[in-house]
């Protein structure tokens, strides 16, 4: 953790409200990015960011510094996003099935897609957005943010083995879509 | 061993940091991958995917203006809610305490009256 952030964390832990507000300013864009990746829309991401910092504020005395502050914040964000997704699913009947079809992000089929998916990063972001939320959550937390399997399982309220199964399923779907092997190309295009 | 049996294993093994078949712990599976170009290619593609995913970490989105202000407002609002709850809880405790004191006083008064009456009756009888 950079020294400046460590000092802010220490001050915030001892009840310094101004230090906590500085922490919010320093980390809000990253927290928002993770929330947006998990939820897929700006409004929901903003709600989750607010809830994340409220929980962080209430719990900062318990942050012992065993992990980085950013990792601790990612865990809270993941937990808030999971709660939010659960609530949203109940209200909007979101598609939670792992087998939901993906939109076509293969650039050579769709001229508009070709313009938008100009490089791998864009195509990957687009493919991630199309994943069902519960697959997206594990692959984002593990492969983008490096959270350990047990932390992911704990924050999403699932077992570690379920988290691993979802992770491998998500990797497979992205791999088949972005890097299809011979014979898989037709299948990927048929989706 | 068939390639299809290894799909999950290859997706998991890619995390080991190398696309070499040696990252596969299971000896039987490793032997298959060492001799199977398709599985080697699949493992390499998983590595490529994981590298691309890891690189997304450096990408930070810029939220629309007002996010930090919204966070502070949310903290403030929660603080006020908490203060109101504490106040209501405090008043409830005080109210319950007052009731308890009044009930105790009334009970003590009633007991005193009963004892005094019994004493007068006994004196009158003797």
Residue B44 lies in a domain: yes
| Angle, helix B37-55 to helix A160-178, in steps of 10 degrees | 100
pLDDT 10s digits, A49-71 = 999 999 999 999 989 877 889 99
> In sequence order, which residues have a C-beta less than 8 Å from that of residue A171 and are 6 or more positions away?
A139, A143, B11, B14, B46, B49, B50
Shortest CA distance to A36 belongs to which of A133, A163, A120? A133
**Confidence label for B104 from pLDDT (cuts 50, 70 and 90):** confident
pLDDT 10s digits, A1-59 = 567 888 999 999 999 999 999 999 999 999 999 999 999 999 999 999 999 999 999 99
Residue B77 lies in a domain: no
Residue B9 lies in a domain: yes
C-alpha A63: how far from its chain's center? 22
Residue B79 lies in a domain: no
Give the number of domains in chain B.
1
Give the ipTM.
0.80
Domain range annotation of chain A: 1-94, 96-191
The whole-angstrom separation of Cα A145 and Cα A170 is: 15
| Interchain contact, B75 vs A42, CB within 8 Å | no
Chain B residues in contact with A181 by the CB 8 A cut-off are 38, 41-42, 45
Chain B touched by A126 (CB under 8 Å): no
- What is A1-94's CATH topology? Rna Polymerase Sigma Factor; Chain: A (1.10.1740)
Residue B34 lies in a domain: yes
Pick the residue from chain B with its C-alpha nearest to A52: B71
What does DSSP assign to residue A27? Answer: H
The whole-angstrom separation of Cα A23 and Cα B73 is: 15
CATH class of A96-191: mainly alpha
Q: Where are the alpha helices (DSSP H) in chain B?
A: 7-13, 27-34, 37-55, 67-125
Whether the CB-CB separation of A92 and A60 falls below 8 Å is answered with no
Residue B116 lies in a domain: no
Chain B residues in contact with A178 by the CB 8 A cut-off are 49, 52
What does the block give as tokens for B30?
Answer: 């490793």
Chain B touched by A36 (CB under 8 Å): yes
Selected for mutation to probe chain B from A179, A180, A185 (highest B CB count within 10 Å) is: A179
Shortest CA distance to A171 belongs to which of A98, A90, A112, A114? A98
| Angle, helix B67-125 to helix A17-39, in steps of 10 degrees | 110
pLDDT for A88: 79
pLDDT for A107: 45
Size of interface A-B (CB pairs under 8 A): 92
> In sequence order, which residues have a C-beta less than 8 Å from that of residue A12 and are 6 or more positions away?
A19, A20, A23, A60
pLDDT for A116: 47
Residue B125 lies in a domain: no
* Residue owning tokens 């399923």: A169
B31 vs A182, higher pLDDT: B31
The whole-angstrom separation of Cα A110 and Cα A105 is: 8
Domain that holds residue B50: 3-58
The full length of chain B comes to 126
């Amino acid at each position: 953790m950079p020294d400046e952030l460590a000092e802010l964390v220490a001050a915030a832990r001892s009840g310094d409200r101004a230090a906590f507000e500085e922490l919010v300013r320093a980390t809000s864009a990253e927290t928002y990015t993770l929330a947006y990746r998990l939820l897929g829309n700006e409004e929901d991401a903003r709600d989750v960011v607010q809830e994340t910092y409220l929980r962080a504020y209430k719990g900062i005395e318990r942050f012992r510094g065993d992990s980085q502050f950013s990792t601790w914040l990612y865990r809270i964000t993941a937990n808030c996003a999971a709660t939010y997704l659960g609530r949203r699913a109940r209200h909007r009947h979101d598609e939670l099935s792992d087998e939901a079809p993906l939109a076509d992000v293969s650039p050579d089929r769709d001229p508009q897609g070709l313009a938008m998916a100009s490089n791998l990063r864009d195509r990957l972001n687009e493919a991630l957005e199309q994943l069902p939320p519960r697959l997206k959550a594990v692959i984002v937390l593990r492969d983008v943010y490096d959270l350990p399997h047990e932390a992911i399982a704990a924050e999403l309220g699932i077992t570690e083995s379920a988290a691993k199964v979802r992770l491998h399923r998500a990797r497979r779907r992205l791999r088949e879509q972005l890097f299809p092997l011979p014979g898989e190309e037709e299948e990927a295009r048929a989706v | 061993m068939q390639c299809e049996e290894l799909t999950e294993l290859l997706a998991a093994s890619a995390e080991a940091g190398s696309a070499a078949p040696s990252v596969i712990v299971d000896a039987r599976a490793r032997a298959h991958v060492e001799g199977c170009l398709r599985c080697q290619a699949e493992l390499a593609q998983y590595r490529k995917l994981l590298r691309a995913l890891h690189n997304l970490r450096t990408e930070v989105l810029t939220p629309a203006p007002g996010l930090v202000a919204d966070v502070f407002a949310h903290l403030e609002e929660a603080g006020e809610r908490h203060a109101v709850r504490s106040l209501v809880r405090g008043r409830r405790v005080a109210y319950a305490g007052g009731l308890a004191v009044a009930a105790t006083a009334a009970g003590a008064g009633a007991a005193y009256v009963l004892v005094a009456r019994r004493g007068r009756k006994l004196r009158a009888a003797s």
